[in-house]
Amino acid sequence: MTPELSGAGWRVFRDPAGVPHVQGSDLKSLATGHGAITAVDRPWQLEVLRRRAEGRSAELLGPDQVDADHLSLAMEIELTALRWWKAAGTEDQQFLAAYADGVNGSIGSAWAECPEALELGLADLEPRPWQPWTPLAVHLDAHLLSGSLPEQVWRHRVRTTLGDEWVAVLDAETPRGSGSNAWLVPADLSVSGAPLIAADPHRVVEESGPYQPVCFSAPGLRVRGLALVGLPGVPHFGRTESAAWAITAAMTTTETLCEVTVQRRTDGLVAVDTGESLDERAVDLRSAHCGTQTRWVRRCSGGFVLPGDAGAEQRLLALAEGECARVLVVRPAVPCAPERAVSACRELLGAISVADVAAAWQGWVVPVNDVITADRTGACLHTVAGSYLPAPCNDDAAAPVGAFGSVGSREPSGATHARGSRGSCGSRGSRGSRGEHLDHVMVRANQRPADEHESAARLGCAPPHRARRATQLLEQAIAERGVVSHEDLLAAQVDTHLGPWPGLLAQLLGDRGPVAKTLRDWLLAWDGDMSADSEVAALFARWRDAFARELAASEVLTPLLASSRLPALWQPFLDPVARVGLALESIVVRGQRVGFDPRVAAVRALDSVAAEHPEAMDAAGSRSVENQPSWGLLHAFAPHRAHPDLPPFTAVPVGGDTDCLLSAGTIPGWGPACARVPAARVLWDLADPAASWWITPDPVDRGSLGSAPVLRWAAGEMDHALPWVPAGGLEPTDAPLGLGRLSDGLAAVGRPFVPVVGSAQDVNDVVSGHLSLRPVDAARDCELIYSWVQEERARFWGMNDLTFEQVRDLYAFLSTTTTHHAWLIELNQRPLGLFQTYEPHADITGAFYTVEPGDLGIHVLLAPVRNRVPGMTDAISALIQCEIIKQGRTRRIVAEPDASNDLALARLQATGFTLGPVIDLPHKTGRLAFFTLP
């Protein structure tokens, strides 16, 4: 039961699924432990992320990364991080520095044993130390291309190449870099009677993924959530004992982009319109085995010059005096309150209510997120966090890039929705926001807001059918059962319905005659299901690829095939085939506005697929679709490897598609490869601190379950999200557990058996009687238990006000858990009382003290009797304690009787318990008590 890792004021345990649980004496020690265990689990990722942020990744990963390093330097990622860190408050500075210290304390030894370093012969490389601001740099760099910049660059290219009218036609309204689904179910629609939150961020997954499940506990707090690798805390997805939150990408305009004419003059480049000299400096970029390249980074008062490809950069350098060129200038949104740029990482760990969550997000900068949050009182909130720039207009969901000028960033407004009940704190969102009651399921799926003002600031939103599907599935559950269950939320997360395509196929192919009849008939009969085992889904994807290529090759779009004069790293965002593939829906719906009819290309694609697969498309149509590979086999997922020489991870079949709720995204036209997936799934239930779940597609098995998380993720399974410490307890059993004779218990406590005067008890039967613990059978035992807990004498048990059905359901639930157990205490098979145990890390009690390895929580309720045998209570306790000691799993027994139950407290003290602090539990004011076993 020793911790896996420890240091001054902190220690780390690991649960069976491999998730680290960091215990600390305060927030700083938690951050140190978090950094340390992250370095142990993810040394390769941390080194890659740090080098990318510093513009030095090509030294490790090879020459293909030089352009990415150039971009990071041009956008001043590390310098910006340093400025933010210097502006931060003392507590935030210390929090970030502690995380960096933890990384530095472990990464050296972890790197020497890192499989990637060993595979590449780099184990002798000594990673450079993290600076206190390195976590900020890593965070900024990781989100550099996941905001609105790629979308703005693409729209600029379409506008300058084809004209304004084509922007809406080629607008996919689909997030390219990041996105997600999130559901917020209010208490009165939840199966648990408290709010439910579910979410799944859609990201490109590299190595073990961008998210790290982690649990934190310190005096006064207990948190579980998904940390962004390289950044302390759990700002995106997390829950405390009484509040929870999740985010989706808000798809806002986070920078301006404009084309500026510059002229070469004697003293350098000058912006023609303003006469301002550009700041230029040379940087040396080193790459593994390929020496050093000199590049230039440039900026002006309006922003950063976006580096071009080799040809564009060379032409800029070769400009003769007086010659002009055009460059793209990027101006990111700036913090409204630099001192609070990432305060949410620290402050969310102490959130108690939705008001605390909203307050923690104040001042957040990037990425801009839709935030949904709820707390145990039933309060629910939706707001937007981050700094963004107001869009100049909203023309048919395709806002043009604004003119370069002085545009200030702002915090979000007008996007807060709150629902209060049972003492709700109400709405406390971003500055200037307005609140309204939420009496329905809230869904955020990167869709464009209905509010005109908020919509104007969004760019590249997802098609609305994904949000409609996300809402429809839960509304269906409510219509059938009146509530939303955990299973309903999970089913929605893994839903593979591709809503619009059956209708679009009918529009494109419905009147095309006998061309490729077999394939055409299969596609027109298809219901849009992209399940992994669907063969028709695989044929549809092949046709869609061919359709995208046919459209991209059409005469009107061929100008987009010309060089963009930007480096290759922009290819996924600017490649005409990829962008046409992502915009197929828009092209079908809007193409006719610009005289572009996609139906001819759709038929050509049908012919080409039929020709490429004649074994399935014979003229007689005698072969069945079942002969084809399923979608999951073509669409198998494996995380991307950062270094080209690393062996690939084993791929797992997966269903879904780009605009399914199971957003296992492809890039139509580029083939069936799984380009982006749900990088995690979470489900927070505010009713019970132990009732939450999560999973990530991590290919590395760090636990003891015998399978990597990615396999459970691909199967649609979830892991229990518990703050975890190795617990004490009795070995679970379905059979009665013998404790010995009552006389042995009496002897153990030095009490002779004294028959009760006037009792009809047979002395020999009692003295020689055998005590046992029998697991509670809710159906068999509930009537008896209900009669016990309704007694006035059992008021401290806390179940006087429960109905028979509620008591039965509670004990039925306990029989299904692995952390809470209930037994009947029996003497010669005659029930004498209840004995219940719990693992404190899985109970709310564990949030009020530092849980130690081997802790076991207990509750004892003896049945009402007319004449109790003197010493029997002590004797039963002694025999149960002997059995606990014999099994050897428990080091300390924990109790928390009602603080006003003087009799129970006195009995505990008399039997050797040490009283601890008074604690405010949701159902009572308790008093902790501890007994360390010999």
Q: What are phi and psi of 857, to 5 degrees?
A: -90, 145
Question: Higher pLDDT residue, 355 or 405?
Answer: 355
Q: Tens digit of pLDDT for each residue in 662-695?
A: 999 899 999 999 989 999 999 999 998 777 999 9
Would residue 616 count as lying in a domain? no
Percent of the chain with pLDDT over 90: 72
Query: Which residue among 142, 162, 187 closes a domain?
Result: 142
CA distance 199 to 183: 6
Q: Residue 202 domain-assigned?
A: yes
- The tally of CA atoms less than 13 A away on the side-chain side of residue 31 is 24
3-state secondary structure of 644: coil
Give mean pLDDT, residues 834-840: 94
The string of pLDDT tens digits covering residues 73-86 is 999 999 999 999 99
Given a cut of 50, whether residue 827 has pLDDT beyond it is yes
**Cα–Cα distance, 707 to 37 (Å, whole number):** 21
Domain count for the chain = 4
What confidence category does residue 512 fall into, taking pLDDT thresholds of 50, 70 and 90? Answer: low
pLDDT at 403 over 70: no
| Residue indicated by tokens 């689904």 | 181
Does any domain span residue 604?
no
Residue 430 pLDDT grade (very low, low, confident, very high; cuts 50, 70, 90): very low
pLDDT tens sequence across 283-295? 999 998 888 999 9
Same domain, 844 and 922: yes
**39-56: per-residue pLDDT in tens?**
999 999 999 999 999 999
185 CB contacts (<8 Å, ≥6 apart)?
195, 196, 197, 198, 441, 474, 484, 489
Average pLDDT score, the chain? 88
- Are the beta carbons of 306 and 228 closer than 8 angstroms? no
**What pLDDT is stored for residue 870 in this prediction?**
77
Is residue 626 scored above 70 in pLDDT?
Answer: no
Q: For residue 900, report the phi and psi dihedrals to the nearest 5 degrees.
A: -95, 0
| Residues in the chain, total | 934
Say if residue 245 is in the same domain as residue 357: yes
Looking at 356-414, which runs of residues are DSSP E strands? 369-375, 380-385
- Taking CA atoms, 329 is separated from 43, 311, 389, 848, in Å, by 35, 18, 15, 53
824 lies in the same domain as 913: yes
User: Which of 332, 347, 377 finishes a domain?
Assistant: 332
Enumerate helices (H) and strands (E) in the chain, giving the number of each: 31, 31
Q: Are residues 323 and 356 in the same domain?
A: no
Pair 309, 437 in one domain: no
Neighbour order of strands in the sheet with 221-228: 5-7, 10-14, 20-24, 211-218, 221-228, 237-239, 243-249, 369-375, 380-385, 417-419
CA separation for the pair 762, 273 (Å, rounded): 107
pLDDT of residue 515: 65
Nearest CA-CA partner of 205 in 565, 686, 680: 680
In a domain, 138, yes or no: yes
Is residue 436 exposed (0-12), middle (13-18) or buried (19+ Cβ within 10 Å)?
Answer: exposed
**pLDDT over threshold 70, residue 249:** yes
pLDDT at residue 872 above 90? Answer: no
CA dist list (Å): 179 to 174, 230, 252: 9, 20, 12
Cα gap 106→128, rounded to integer Å: 12
754 pLDDT band (50/70/90 cuts)?
low
Across-strand partners of 838?
A: 820, 857
The amino acid present at 520, given as its one-letter code, is R
Residues 755 and 691 in one domain: no
pLDDT confidence of residue 474: 96
Q: Is residue 355 part of a domain?
A: yes
SS3 410: strand
* Nearest partner of 530 among 646, 632, 633, judged by Cα: 632
End-to-end CA distance of the chain: 16
Do 765 and 852 share a domain, yes or no? yes
pLDDT of residue 405: 26
132 and 39 in one domain? yes
Spatial strand order of the sheet with 291-300 comes to 268-271, 255-265, 324-332, 303-305, 291-300, 279-287
d(CA 676, CA 177): 9
E strands within 571-714? Answer: 677-678, 681-685, 693-695
Name the 3-class secondary structure at 54.
helix
172 located within any domain: no
CB atoms within 10 A of CB 890: 20
Angstrom CA distances, 670 to 543, 552, 575, 578, stand at 12, 12, 10, 7
pLDDT at 616: 54
> Which domain CATH number covers 267?
2.30.120
What pLDDT was estimated at residue 922? 81
pLDDT at 434 over 80: no
Mean pLDDT of all residues in 641-645: 96
Same domain, 312 and 364: no
Instruction: Give the residue numbers spanning the domain of 827.
Output: 737-932
Which residues face 257 on adjacent strands? 330
* 8-state DSSP, 855: E
Per-residue pLDDT, averaged over 850-865, amounts to 91
Q: Do residues 790 and 849 both lie within one domain?
A: yes
Contact by Cβ (8 Å): 729, 837: yes
Strands 770-775 and 737-741: antiparallel
Q: What is the pLDDT of residue 866?
A: 66
pLDDT tens track for 526-578? 999 999 999 999 999 999 999 999 999 999 999 999 999 999 999 989 999 99
| CB atoms closer than 10 angstroms to residue 430 | 22
Residues paired with 305 in a beta bridge? 329
Task: State percent of the chain over pLDDT 70.
Answer: 90
Residues 230 and 259 in one domain: no
Could you tell me the CA-to-CA distances from 422 to 109, 243, 377 in Å, in that order?
Answer: 52, 15, 6
Residue 28 sits in the same domain as residue 89: yes
Judged by average pLDDT, the poorest of 158-172, 505-519, 766-780 is 505-519
pLDDT of residue 397: 37
* CATH number for 770: 3.40.630.30
Kindly state whether residue 804 falls inside one of the protein's structural domains.
yes
Decide if pLDDT at 718 tops 60. Answer: yes
- Structure confidence by residue, pLDDT tens digits, 277-334: 999 999 999 998 888 999 999 999 989 999 999 999 999 999 999 999 999 999 998 8
Residue from 662, 657, 649 nearest 714 by CA: 662
Q: In 10 A of CB 289, how many CB atoms?
A: 6
Picking from 686, 720, 754, the residue at the C-terminal end of a domain is 720
- The answer to whether residue 540 sits within a structural domain is no
Residue 150 · residue 218 · CB < 8 Å: no
| pLDDT top residue among 571 and 174 | 571
Which stretches of 565-618 are DSSP H helices? 571-574, 576-582, 584-590, 599-612
Residue 164 is which amino acid?
D
Tell me which H or E stretch contains 734: none
Express each pLDDT in 769-816 by its tens digit.
889 999 999 999 999 999 999 988 888 888 888 999 999 999 998 888
159, amino acid identity: R
Cβ atoms within 10 Å, residue 294? 9
The mean pLDDT value for 851-878 works out to 86
Instruction: Find the CATH number of the domain harbouring 198.
Output: 3.60.20.10
Question: CB of 924 within 8 A of CB of 798?
Answer: yes
